[in-house]
A and B are shown apart, each in its own frame.
Chain A
Amino acid sequence: MIDGFEGEPLAVAMVAADQRILSRSFRFHRPRGLMCDTGQCGWCECEVDGRPSVRSCQIPVRDGLVARSEHAWPSVDRDLFGWLDVGSRLIPPTFYHHRFLRPRALRKRYLDVLRGFGGRGRLPIGRPPVARSRVERALEVDVLVVGGGRSGVAAAEETAPAGSRVVLLEAAIGRAQPRHPDIRFLEGAAAVGWYDGVVTAIDDSTLWSIRAGSVIVATGSYERVPPVRGADSPGVIGARRVADLITHHGVLPGERAMLVGEEADLAAARAALERGGARIVAAVPTSALRRVLGRRHVIGAVVEHDGAERRLAIDLVVIGDRTPNLDLVLAAGAAVERRDGVLVPVLDEAGRTSIPGLSVVGSAAGHRASASAPTPTGRALVCFCEDVHADEIEAQVVAGYGDPELVKRRTGALTGPCQGKYCLQAFSAVLAAAGVEGSAAQGDLPTARPPLRPLRLGDLVATEEMADP
């Protein structure tokens, strides 16, 4: 039982109540807490009012809401399965390949036991059929802008005066409205796919299928979790989320903070922390970070300073680095390239991708991608959903399974609930470092798979197509 302010996100209320561990990772039950600012990382998933794997940072608190932890026993704080992580080296992703065959009579029993380790949320049995609350609508427009941040709004305003039909999609509610009256602003509508040139989107009342003469991607960027051991511990939080916690929710996520990344990306978080009374213990470039300490919560960090390793006592790591959101670009099959260790879309001077009619603006184009991203090595995690370590990816290459698609299949990297948003960059960096060359237009990347964000089956149910007014 915790108290929270009505309307504030559930995950924020839990952090405010000092519940730092919000979920456990799938394979090794590593503790995870609030991290991203957009509901994309999935580290805050728990069962809410009987519905499995709900991202609690996106759910407003209300009286009587029941949240339960998943995939942990006896509790998410004290999860006995957490011990699996100690033996993670003995359980590589391919652990079953030549095992569990003897004795023959026990083969099914082995798999029964393995099956017991699987699964996350509980499927509630016997729910009533879905009420068809949504309608399906098709739109034909001249310009579609995906993402209502600063660059998205600017791009929409720029195209609107030409007398064209412009639609602006923004997944969040409460962002700045575009001023131009001819822009059709679909607030709360999240783009979920690119299907043969049609962008689909979903909001509370509608499933949209939008065909546009020109699609402008302004979807911004994702946090880049530092490529070191321990960087997934509760207490490692994106700079924007840190600023938001303090400024909008009055929650101070730590007393002694370390800022990681470029100063420009961290300014807002720094100001908020100082205002909130936290001490900034250090600000270091990502390449100087060696390790984050503390399993259940951050208790320190090891950084390199003047050639020597130094240990800092901190309880908060603020992530400044961000990488471009490539979701739509990859779904459309547009070319990307590696620049300074970061995958960015290949664009001409006008911001056009290799796909006709598709262009990218703002940080989704990689303009602000932090320079020289270090590549994870050894036991640093690459994929957080499946707990895939860098050395496990390298091992696939050594074993002759270096094709990116095979690495994906053999390790499970890129296939978890974050859908690759938080591991794609590191995954491709590790493969590039291991000498794997991609021949496809998308470089060394496995095929992007829709949808762009997780969708409840029940949310995809809608009444028949309606003509748009």
Chain B
Amino acid sequence: MTLPSTADVVVIGGGICGLAAARELAARGAGRILVVERGYPGAGATGRNVARIRRMQLTEELCRVAMACQDKYERMGGELWSNVLFYRLGYAWILYEPDEVDRMREVVAMHARLGIQSALLSPAETLHHLPVFEGGEPVAGSVLSDDAIVHHDAVVWAHLDHLGRVAKDTVSVHPHTNVTAIERDDGRVQAVVTDRGRVTTPVVLNATDGWSTEVNAMAGVRMPNRPRRREVLVTAPLRRTIEAAVTFYRPSEGWFNQTLRGEVVMGAVDPDEPVGVNQRSSWAFLRRTADLMTRKAPTLRDATVIRQWAGMYDITPDHLPIVGPTAQLDGWWQATGWSGRGMLLAPYLCELLAEHLVTGSPPEMLRQFLPDRFAPADDGERTETDYYARYGSALASARRGPASTSMSPGNTTSSPGA
């Protein structure tokens, strides 16, 4: 099937980001919108993540954004009239080092101010709530919130279904369509060339996350976000046992949670994962994850791995996404660099992006994510891998006490990865 020869907006990438953007643009009457996707809808990181929708973040700015994002998900089922299986499973940071516990006291106080339900649990309370850790490495405590999970695929289908029903005349989604070139002239986007034809358009949205560097390069746009592989494994279904989505950052980063069907999904992060698109699974990942999980939660030794896969994180130097237009090329919009939080952030931030595109000025909350906070010369090599270090400056100011409440949204962007 060939594509129409013109469109008002071409969205490159048919994952949660591209589909959410199409939905929001259509709702605002942005004209004819074309979504082109190289594989099937949700083929990239959207279909490969574990869809944790977490408000509980380490900085106040991120918490505020994440709260809006979670609200968006909570409403999504009703708005799109498709169940996305939004479920408050609970979310726990498991802490292994005493200084982590000290940091978290302030974080939990900050959560309380914002109205996020979180609590700092003692080691005994942690084991009581999450007995899966019994017999494992001694925990120093945990932070538990009432955060949620959704079903990533259901989110994609909810959007597709909705677009097919409500925006049939304005939005068309074209799977298995490869973008081969971007035409530009006088600093403006002219057209998107695909293997199914050329589309003239004044606006292109790059929503390709892990592949965005590649797509940006076609348009001659330089951004510092770089793709890195993350891997996941899933076990055969087990009776409900683990009553929270679990993450730990130190001394090594790992996570697991049980899905509604009972499977346990888990992963252990390789801090030395090289830059580059790579969706192949590795044996080293299985070994690393088995080692880490059976040490921390020996109960999991009897869980049976039945499948593993890999997906891409598109990581920016400050671990915040890149959302909006750029001065480098007129008409070139981006919603990329999700840094592993695309599932959480994309639906809401794409709403803000659509607002920006239609009204011409960015909503306040979008400002911290605008692409031009990075200089075109940024090479992306400053990426901070230690989780807490990324939030070093914000946490330090949080420690100074109530002063942090007066921090204006947007000021973390000036200290990327500090």
Interface of A with B (CB < 8 Å)? 26, 51-53, 96-101, 104, 107-108, 111, 114-116, 118-130, 136, 193, 195-196, 198, 200, 207, 209, 400-401, 403, 405-406, 409-410, 415-417, 419, 439, 447, 449-451, 454-462
- Find chain A residues with CB under 8 A from B400 CB: none
Q: Which of chain B's residues 115-169 have a Cβ closer than 8 Å to chain A?
A: 131-132, 134-136, 153-154, 157-158, 161, 164
B83 CB within 8 Å of chain A: yes
Asked if A126 and B131 make an inter-chain contact with CB atoms under 8 angstroms apart, the answer reads: yes
- Within the complex, the shortest CB–CB distance from B131 to chain A, in Å, comes to 5
Asked if A101 and B286 make an inter-chain contact with CB atoms under 8 angstroms apart, the answer reads: no
Asked if A126 and B236 make an inter-chain contact with CB atoms under 8 angstroms apart, the answer reads: no
> What are the interface flags for B285-316 relative to A under an 8 Å C-beta threshold, 1 for contact and 0 otherwise?
01101110111001111111111110000000
B87 CB within 8 Å of chain A: yes
- Within the complex, the shortest CB–CB distance from A250 to chain B, in Å, comes to 31
Known: A127-B299, A419-B306, A457-B293. A108 touches B83 (CB 8 A): no
Asked if A119 and B237 make an inter-chain contact with CB atoms under 8 angstroms apart, the answer reads: yes
- Nearest B residue to A104 via CB reads B78
Known: A119-B262, A136-B287, A403-B40. A449 touches B77 (CB 8 A): no
- Find chain A residues with CB under 8 A from B78 CB: 101, 104
Enumerate 5 A-B pairs (CB-CB under 8 Å) in ascending A order.
Answer: A99-B83, A101-B81, A104-B78, A121-B302, A457-B300
Asked if B154 and A121 make an inter-chain contact with CB atoms under 8 angstroms apart, the answer reads: no
Q: Which of chain B's residues 232-290 have a Cβ closer than 8 Å to chain A?
A: 235-241, 259-262, 280-283, 286-287, 289-290
- Find chain B residues with CB under 8 A from A401 CB: 157
- Find chain B residues with CB under 8 A from A98 CB: 81-83
Asked if B81 and A119 make an inter-chain contact with CB atoms under 8 angstroms apart, the answer reads: no
Interface of B with A (CB < 8 Å)? 39-43, 47, 77-78, 81-83, 85-88, 131-132, 134-136, 153-154, 157-158, 161, 164, 175-176, 235-241, 259-262, 280-283, 286-287, 289-291, 293-295, 298-309
- Find chain A residues with CB under 8 A from B262 CB: 115, 118-120
- Nearest A residue to B235 via CB reads A457
Cα distance A124–B287 when bound, in Å? 22
- Nearest B residue to A415 via CB reads B307
Counting residue pairs across A and B whose Cβ atoms lie within 8 Å, the total is: 191
Asked if B281 and A130 make an inter-chain contact with CB atoms under 8 angstroms apart, the answer reads: no
* Most chain A C-beta atoms within 10 Å of own C-beta, residue among B39, B78, B136, B237: B237
Known: A119-B239, A123-B299, A128-B135. A195 touches B82 (CB 8 A): no
Cα distance A119–B241 when bound, in Å? 10
Cα distance A376–B164 when bound, in Å? 30
- Find chain B residues with CB under 8 A from A100 CB: 83
- Find chain B residues with CB under 8 A from A454 CB: 236, 304-306
Cα distance A452–B237 when bound, in Å? 18
- Within the complex, the shortest CB–CB distance from A105 to chain B, in Å, comes to 12
Cα distance A53–B305 when bound, in Å? 12
Asked if B154 and A458 make an inter-chain contact with CB atoms under 8 angstroms apart, the answer reads: no
- Find chain B residues with CB under 8 A from A123 CB: 132, 238-239, 241, 299-300, 302-303
